[in-house]
Chains A and B, each alone.
Chain A
Amino acid sequence: MADSINPHLKHLLPRSPEKPTLAPDQQSVDLEPLTQEKKGSFSRRSFLSGLSATGLLAGAAPLAAAAPLIEPAVQNDADAAGSVTVTLRINGKDYTLKNLDPRATLLDTLRERVQLTGTKKGCDHGQCGACTVHVNGRRVNSCLSFAVMHEGDEVTTIEGLGQPGNLHAMQAAFVEHDGYQCGYCTSGQIMSAVALLKEPIGPSDDEVKQAMSGNICRCGAYTNILSAVKQVRSRA
C-alpha cells in the first residue's frame, strides 16, 4: 500500500523505531529516534499515524512496507528554498538535520524530525510548560525557540534523563509519589523539577510551588508532584 502513495506525500509516512530489548514486564516505548536505514518495524504510534496519512481506516497491512524517512522528500541535492541545516546535540548525540524549515520550533523538531516524542506540546505558546526541556542544563519552553537557533547547544529531553530500568531519581520519585494521572504534563514537570535542583530556590513548600509554577497540570496532581520534588531535594 505504501508503494502506491503519491510520492509528494511520502514524507508524511510514519517513521518506525527499532524496538528495544524488553524485559517481560515492560512495554515498548519510543526511546531512540530511528536511523535512515530502518525499515519494516512499526509501533502503535506509527500504525495510527500511518492510517491517517494514507486515509485508510481498513485495509490489509497498510504499513507492512512503510519506508521510514527522516529527511523531507527533496529529491535533489539542493536545499529546499529558504530551508536551513542545523546540527543539534540532543541527549549527547549529534543529529544533522537538513532541509529544516527555519520556522520549525525546537519542540516540533524534537517530536517530528528526531522522533523524540517524550516532550509534549500543550499550548505551543509558552503558557503551560508541557514542552519543557533543558538547553545547556537550564529549563526552557521548547515551543518558543526555533531549532535553528540551537546549533552548539546541549539539549536534554526526558528521554535523556533516564530510561526504563535506569530511571533518574526524579522519575522514580514521581512514580513513588503517584505524581501524575494522565501523564501529559509529566515529562515537562520532571524536566522542570530536575532543573530546579540547580537553581537558588528556597527551602519552603511555597518556594518549591513557585518554582514549579511554570508547569500546569489539568489533572491536578500538584500535591503529589510537590512531594516527589521535595523528596529528591532533601536527598540531593
Chain B
Amino acid sequence: METFNYVKAPNIDKALAAAQQAKFIAGGTTLVDLMKLTVETPRTLVDINLLPLDKIDKLPDGGLRIGAMVRNSDLAWNADVQKSYAVLSEALLSGASPQLRNMATTGGNLMQRTRCVYFREPSAGTPGGYGCNKRTPGSGCAAMDGYNRMHAILGTSDHCIATHPSDMCVAMAALEAVIHVEGTKGKRTIAFADFHKLPGDTPHIENALEPGELITYVDLPKPVEGVTSTYLKLRDRASYEFALASAAVVARVEGGHIRYIRVAMGGVGTKPWRSHEAEAALMGKPANPATFKAAAEAALAQAKPHKENAFKVELARRCLVRSLKTATA
C-alpha cells in the first residue's frame, strides 16, 4: 500500500479544505480494500467520521433525509425505512456481511467500485499488466476476452463492461433518490439517475462528483401511496456474495392493473440500472404473468452478453418476473 497523509476533519469546512488530491474515508470498506491492492493511491486521506452527517430525519414534505455517514446497517434497520421504503432495507440487508454493513456508509456505498478481477489486479493498466481502461484510459480491457462471468450486459461500451456492484444503489434508483453534495464552490443536488455515469469512452469517470466534493445527504421522496416494494437478489450462494442479477420493484396495483411502477436492476448494468423499458411495458397493464414476461423482454432487449455471462440475460428476465410477482401479489 502506498503511504498517505492522514487528516481527521472536525467539520465540513475543514474537510473540504483538506481535499486536495485527497480522498474522503468513511467506513473504508471499499477504499482500504483497494488501497491494499494499490488500485487506489490517495496522497491524503480525510477522515470524515466526525462529521455530523449520521442522522436519518423526516423531511417537511414527508420524505426522508439520510446523512451520508449513516451506516448501512442502521439505515436498513431504521423503522421509517422498513415501513415506507422496504426495498431499500431489503437491498441493504442482502449486501455484504453484518460486519461490513456496520462499517459502510450511505455515501461510501454510492461510491463503491466494481469487482472486476482485472480492475482489482494491482498491476492492471500499467505497462505489462492487464489492460484496464478504468484504471488507465487507453490501456485496453482484459475482461472483454477474459473472465467476464460477473460482468455487465447492459450499459457496456467497447471500453468497459464492468458491473456496478451495489444493492443499495439499485433500490435508491427505483426510489428516485436525490443526492446532496457540497464543495468549495457551494452546495448542489444530483438526481440519482445522473449520479453514476455509463462507461462510454471514459470508464475512469464513474460519477458526477467534481474533485473535492463531499456527499452530505441522500433524500428519499415522500413515499408513494399504496405501493409495495421489494428487492430480489440472485447469486451463487445465499449470502455474502454479489448479485448475478437483482431486481428492485416499487408497484401499486388497482383493480388488477398496474397504476404505479418503478423498476431497477442490479448485477447486470455498468451503473445501477433503472429500466424505463420495463416500466413502459408495465404501466397501466394488467398485473399478470404475460405482462411481466413482456416487461422482462423489454428490460433485457438491449443486453449485450460476453463469452461467460450470456446466462445473465435469461436469469435477469426471470429475476424481474419473480420480483414483479412479489410486488404485485
Interface residues of A (CB under 8 A from B): 82, 84, 101-103, 105, 124-127, 129, 132, 138-141, 143-146, 148-149, 151, 192, 195-196, 199-200, 209-211, 213-216
* A84 proximity list for chain B (CB < 8 A): 6
Contact of B98 among A102, A145, A149, A214 (CB under 8 A): A214
Known: A82-B3, A101-B3, A149-B49. A211 touches B36 (CB 8 A): no
* B8 proximity list for chain A (CB < 8 A): 149, 151
Known: A146-B6, A210-B239, A213-B240. A140 touches B99 (CB 8 A): yes
B102 close to A (CB within 8 Å): yes
Task: Fill in one digit per residue for B60-90: 1 if any A CB lies within 8 Å of its CB, else 0.
Answer: 0000000000000100010000000000000
Contact of B99 among A101, A125, A132, A151 (CB under 8 A): A132
Task: Fill in one digit per residue for B6-21: 1 if any A CB lies within 8 Å of its CB, else 0.
Answer: 1010000000000000
* B: contact size bracket: 20 to 34
B4 close to A (CB within 8 Å): yes
Structural contact, A213 and B6, CB atoms closer than 8 A: no
Interface residues of B (CB under 8 A from A): 1, 3-6, 8, 25, 27-29, 32-33, 35-36, 45, 47, 49, 73, 77, 96-100, 102-103, 238-240
CA distance A140 to B6 in the complex (A): 21
* B98 proximity list for chain A (CB < 8 A): 139, 192, 195-196, 199, 211, 213-214
| Given pairs A105-B32, A140-B102, A199-B73, 12 additional interface contacts (CB within 8 A) | A82-B5, A103-B1, A103-B4, A126-B29, A146-B25, A146-B28, A146-B45, A195-B98, A211-B98, A214-B99, A214-B100, A215-B97
* B45 proximity list for chain A (CB < 8 A): 102, 146
In the complex, residue of chain A having the shortest beta-carbon distance to the beta carbon of B47:
A149
Closest CB in chain A relative to B36 CB, distance in Å: 7
In the complex, residue of chain A having the shortest beta-carbon distance to the beta carbon of B82:
A200
* B99 proximity list for chain A (CB < 8 A): 126, 129, 132, 139-141, 192, 214
CA distance A101 to B96 in the complex (A): 28
CA distance A17 to B34 in the complex (A): 35
Structural contact, A145 and B103, CB atoms closer than 8 A: yes
Q: Would you list the 3 A-B pairs with minimal beta carbon distance, nearest first? A: A214-B97, A213-B239, A102-B6
Closest CB in chain A relative to B54 CB, distance in Å: 12
CA distance A145 to B5 in the complex (A): 15
Known: A199-B98, A213-B240. A145 touches B6 (CB 8 A): no
Structural contact, A140 and B103, CB atoms closer than 8 A: yes
The residue in B25, B77, B240 that gathers the most chain A C-beta atoms within 10 A of its C-beta is B240
